[in-house]
Structure 1
Amino acid sequence: MKKLKCDLKPNIERQLALTDAIELLSGKWKISILRSLYHSSSLRFKDLAMVSGGVTPKVLSKELQQLEENMLITRTVNNTRPVTVSYALTTHALETLPVIRALVEFGLQHRTNIKGKI
């Protein structure tokens, strides 16, 4: 197996940063939520539930709350009848776009590799 060159020096600061990033994006739906919001300027709760496909309202609410706490999304309560809530990305969240794109590309390549071995 070919050894990969890695310029990431193992130290405690980098390890903690990696742990933070993984924790920030962990959860079955967080990356999917962020990706959906990249494609729309703003989405309501029900729209996010629909595009995320299969997430329960309770889990979606929890994931959205965590994303908001970590300053990746904003929550806006719209003064309508009935009251609607919409979510949008923060500028800080845009920094995750290259990570999500890299994960998508890795997933596509991995699927191709696996299909070639079956």
Structure 2
Amino acid sequence: MDTKCEAGKWNVDAYLRGCASRTVLEALANKWTCLLIDALRHGPLRFGELRRKLDGITQKSLTQTLRVMERDGIVIRSVYPTIPPRVEYELSDLGRSVAGLMEGVKRWSEEHVDEILAAREAYDLRAQEEPRPVPVG
């Protein structure tokens, strides 16, 4: 059985090391990608609006993430011939197709943050009290 995985040529299976779908998972798993998709769900926004909305994102991270999303066909960048030029970002059809999922991930994170933080704290306390053996093999 050939393990090569390229969309349209072989069976796509993200569990396979060489599967191209892993690059898609990697891009979508990025916190800024998730938040940008959710932020753009309601319509186009300018760079500055996105930067203000995503508290803590650097200009460099925002630029890089938007470029990756544009390259992946998730975001459309529109430049308007005004002085100064106006640039807007909006979700493509592909981006809109994943927006509900990203909104769900964001909402789930917000709803369960207290439980996750409590579990982390309990784990860390247990780890301090009794070191865990390292699995072999």
- Normalized against structure 1, the TM-score is what? 0.75
Percent identity reads: 25
Does structure 1 retain, via aligned residues, the 8 Å contact 2:75–2:90?
A: yes
Equivalent residue letter for 2:67: Q
User: Partner of 1:32 in structure 2?
Assistant: 35
In structure 2, stretches of 5+ residues that fail to align are 1-10, 122-137
TM-superposed deviation, 1:77:
0.8
Equivalent residue letter for 2:13: E
Q: Which deviations, in whole Å up to 9, do the C-alpha atoms of 1:10-67 show, x marking residues without a partner?
A: x97242376233212133311111111002x111111111111121111110000000
d(CA) in 1 for partners of 2:88 and 2:99? Answer: 20
Equivalent residue letter for 1:111: V
TM-superposed deviation, 1:113:
3.1
Say which is worse superposed, 15-24 or 27-36, in terms of deviation: 15-24
Say if 1:48 and 1:109 are closer, same or farther in 2 by CA, change over 3 A. Answer: closer
Structure number, greater radius of gyration: 2
Q: CA RMSD in A?
A: 2.4
d(CA) in 1 for partners of 2:26 and 2:106? Answer: 19
User: Partner of 2:95 in structure 1?
Assistant: 93
Say if 1:60 and 1:13 are closer, same or farther in 2 by CA, change over 3 A. Answer: same
TM-superposed deviation, 1:115:
7.1
Q: Which deviations, in whole Å up to 9, do the C-alpha atoms of 1:69-99 show, x marking residues without a partner?
A: 0000000111111112110100011121232
Say which is worse superposed, 44-53 or 18-27, in terms of deviation: 18-27
Equivalent residue letter for 2:84: P
User: Partner of 2:26 in structure 1?
Assistant: 23
Instruction: After TM superposition, list the pairs within 5 Å mapping 1:8-87 onto structure 2.
Output: 13-15=13-15, 16=19, 19-39=22-42, 41-87=43-89
Does structure 1 retain, via aligned residues, the 8 Å contact 2:47–2:87?
A: yes
> Of the two structures, which has the highest relative contact order with CA contacts closer than 8 Å and spacing of 6 or more?
1
Q: Name the structure where helix makes up a greater proportion of residues.
A: 1
- Normalized against structure 2, the TM-score is what? 0.65
